[in-house]
Amino acid sequence: MYPRAELEEAAALVHRHMAPTPQYAWPTLSVRLGCEVWVKHENHGPTGAFKVRGGITYIDWLRRTHPSCSGIVTATRGNHGQSQARAATSAGLRAIVYVPHGNSAEKNAAMRAFGAELVVFGEDFDSARAEAMRVADSEGLHIVPPFHLELVRGVATYALEFFTAAPDLDTVYVPIGCGSGICGVIAARDALGLATKIVGVVSEHAQTAKLSAEAGQLVETDSAATFADGMAVRVPVQAALDIYGPGAERIVTVTEDQIAEAIRVYYRDIHNLAEGAGAAPLAALMAERGRMAGRKVGVILTGGNIDTGWLVEVLQGGTPKP
């Protein structure tokens, strides 16, 4: 998909704008799960989530290939929007970001702080995405899709860091929304010639990626009502499916309660915050602990941007309802 030199070039660009994030083998998690557990801490990046990397590479590409562009329009549940607003406004561009009604109040505030012109539209991400595309066409602004190879090239840099630090990982668990994260992990693994197995993770209430991979074609769902908003996608992306369909060993489903418990485990065991999508890989590993016994396993903590109210509910033993 990408030669190693191209990913290293992307990493050099990304690292001019942010430091590499850490990856640690956590003994407390290893004792709990009976395997060597490595966590890639994308929650420690400048927006608190992995998407920041794709914003850097995408806007750099946009400025080189569309020098007359004056602004962008995109849709998000939060982390992608922060990434694009941060990179676009730093480059002197407008950044109009669409979010659905009921979106995370704290993610909305963060996007505005990074310079986004926030527009609330529709009942879910896919409705907001359709409106963003319509407005971009009508106003002559550049539409930033949720999935693009320049986004993947950027987010693949976290996997390049991870695999360089821990090249002998047996399995890595990655959440799937529109697919840039898992595709980036697959791209880095393949560029480095590793044998690591990649396991995608979806919520029981947002299974479009799993259903599509199993069917070998796009399968939309009627809803994506999960509090793991980074995975709350009901319309899959063909270009992403073309990569994670053959590239992932399998895709597994976790329940909302399992995601909530994984958030609690992250807090108790290593005192890190994880949003729903960020905790989903650990939830999957916890569910498959028997299968992974004695192995060296990686989980991607993709983001820590969970609203305070939901965090309080989770730490008190509850499971938020979106």
pTM of the model: 0.95
What does the domain layout of the chain look like in residue ranges? 4-50+149-315, 52-144
DSSP string, 193-237: T---EEEEEEETTB-HHHHHHHHTS----S----S-GGG--SS--
Residue 139: pLDDT over 90:
no
Q: Which residues contact 193 (CB under 8 A, 6 or more apart)?
A: none
Give the three-class secondary structure for 254. strand
Q: Give the helix/strand (H/E) hosting 7.
A: helix 4-15
With bands split at pLDDT 50, 70 and 90, how would you rate the model's confidence at 95? Answer: very high
The tokens of 268 are what?
A: 């108790």
Residue 1 confidence (pLDDT): 86
* CATH number 3.40.50.1100 given to 52-144: yes
Q: Which pLDDT tens digit goes with each residue over 98-137?
A: 999 999 999 999 999 999 999 999 999 989 999 998 988 8
- DSSP one-letter code for 101: T
Q: Residue 303: name the closest of 79, 71, 61 by CA.
A: 79
Q: Which pLDDT tens digit goes with each residue over 168-219?
A: 999 999 999 999 999 999 999 999 999 999 999 999 999 999 999 999 999 9
| Over residues 233-258, mean pLDDT | 97
The tokens of 176 are what?
A: 């799937």
In this structure, CATH architecture of domain 4-50+149-315 = 3-Layer(aba) Sandwich (3.40)
| Over residues 283-297, mean pLDDT | 98
Residue 18 CB coordination number (10 Å): 16
Residue 258 CB coordination number (10 Å): 19
Residue 170 confidence (pLDDT): 98
Torsion of CA 241, 202, 59, 66, to 10 degrees: 30
Contact 95, 84 (CB under 8 A): yes
With bands split at pLDDT 50, 70 and 90, how would you rate the model's confidence at 90? Answer: very high
